[in-house]
Chains A and B, each alone.
Chain A
Amino acid sequence: MTSAPPLIEAKNISVRAGRKLLLENVSVTISGGEIVTVIGPNGGGKTTLLRALVGAVSLSSGVVIKRPDLRVGYAPQRLMIEASMPITVDRFLALAGSNTKADRISALERTDTFHLRQTSMASLSGGETQRVLIARALLRKPNLLILDEPTQGLDQQGEEDFYALLRGIRAGSGAAVLMVSHDLHVVMAGSDRVICLNGHVCCSGAPETVSVDPTYLNLFGSRASLALYQHHHGHSHDGHDHSDHDHG
């Protein structure tokens, strides 16, 4: 692996909402150029972790250390945008600030959404909205893309296409990707590293390591063995750490 300092590092962060502990003592490191996927059960704190990294929720303990040159492009799970707001895709991208028409066209082309340029945001499907959000994140010329459930509502083919898109983005700009997903088998084939989160980090590491981890098998049960099966069909190994955490 690279010896450069990580892009972003969360050290023992905890987040609470009222009395409820959403994240407990979570440590996560993202280095340049890697695709890392966070999986875990609903309510396991996946979205909270991303929000904590971008600074949208306050930490009750721990720190997030950012490399000075870190530029985050963030795509939330969904927009609060309502049918009540008339706005085109192009204008929505322009609102990200300091970008030109050429920048916007190129970002839309990279996410296969150029044909939607003059469409109203309110009339986009879930998958189209996600791609437009990623286009907006790309406009910031990020070295880290943080995507919350970008594959939500896509079928398996759509999801595989999506990972191909991400690899294209990484090849083009060298940006690392941190994202949340729920679909196990495509995750296993498409990520460099997987973090399994259920309030705390259950296990993390290369997909092949995580997929045989007892805590992971325990969380996902029969769906996990399916992912494992899928996983054995063609994926290159390049030795990542398996950081085991104690549970408590």
Chain B
Amino acid sequence: MDDFLVRALLAGLAIAFAAAPLGCFVVWRKMAYFGDATAHSSLLGIALGLALAIPLMFGVAIVAGCVAVTVSLSSGRNGFAADTILGVFSHSALALGLVMASLLPDLRIDLLETLLGDILAVSQTDVAYIWAGAVSIVAVLVWRWRSLLNTTFSPELMIAEGGSARFDKLLLTLALALFVALSIQLVGVLLITAMLILPAAAARTMANSPERMVGFAAIIGGCAIAFGLSASWFWDTPAGPSIILAASLFFLATSSLGMLRA
């Protein structure tokens, strides 16, 4: 097996690991649109990274983080629904990124790669960053686990029991922004939300507790990475989309099994 394939597998497994708990929250809290919108804003992050000559991942993390914080802080204050505010910020960031890309031709943004990702091109340093980021996401979610589940049930209940729903919501959106930054090179802007949602949704019918759902999501995500990369290796298909396709086959299998049992 070639080195680049090992690196791709290692990076992919890190993403599947972080996507499992985060993706479950995205499914439980119906944050799919939030994931998409944060991913869209990453184009500005790439432009920023190129302009400042810092790793693109950092540029994306900064921009996606700013969008996430702004949206978290401003929602519920000015009469617009959260998804409207999100749409305004993330699409403005996307448009600004595209304008910057055309005004500064030296930046050489590869749009196709940004949209679809290129997991086979990850470097050793990338793998290290991705694992560090994935471990931090999982650590934060484990740390606030009970509280995050409670805010998911009912923010008011959480506050009445002495917690702070706002803090947990902010943590979750920041974790999501970080995840976007880690996975953009692997699966691309278009498929980031799919990487979050598909393993979690596929795990739902098999699980009888939130923790098991996360566990199954991690296993399914990991297998999807392995199968997708194999498909890419043997049949020369694009890696990112093959991974997502493998995950959707898992979803199809578990949900039909679930329907048969019901």
Contact = CB atoms under 8 A, between A and B. Distances in A.
A88 B209 CA distance: 7
Interface string A76-110: 10011110111110011001110000000000000
A66 to B, nearest CB: 12
B4 interface: no
Interface stretch (B87-95, B120-128, B149-157, B233-241): B149-157
Contact of B209 (A56, A87, A136): A87
A85 B152 contact: yes
Given A92-B153, A95-B146, A55 B28 contact: no
Contact of A97 (B27, B146, B213): B146
A85 B210 contact: yes
Contacts of A84: 27-28, 201, 204
A186 B79 CA distance: 37
A22 to B, nearest CB: 13
A31 B100 CA distance: 63
Contacts of B30: 82
A78 B210 CA distance: 20
A interface bracket (residues with beta carbon within 8 Å of B)? 20 to 34
Contacts, number: 69
Nearest to A17: B79
The CB with the most chain A CB atoms within 10 A, among B29, B152, B160, B213, is that of B160
A116 B160 CA distance: 25
B interface bracket (residues with beta carbon within 8 Å of A)? 20 to 34
B161 interface: yes
Contact of A80 (B152, B207, B208): B152
A91 B209 contact: yes
A146 interface: yes
A80 B153 CA distance: 5
A201 interface: no
Nearest to A19: B79
Contacts of A248: none
Given A17-B79, A133-B157, 7 more contacts: A51-B156, A55-B159, A56-B155, A56-B156, A74-B160, A95-B153, A97-B146
Interface of A: 17-18, 51, 54-56, 72, 74-76, 79-82, 84-88, 91-92, 95-97, 120, 133, 136, 140, 146
Interface of B: 27-30, 78-79, 146, 149-150, 152-157, 159-161, 201, 204, 207-210, 212-213
5 contacts: A76-B157, A87-B210, A91-B209, A140-B161, A146-B160
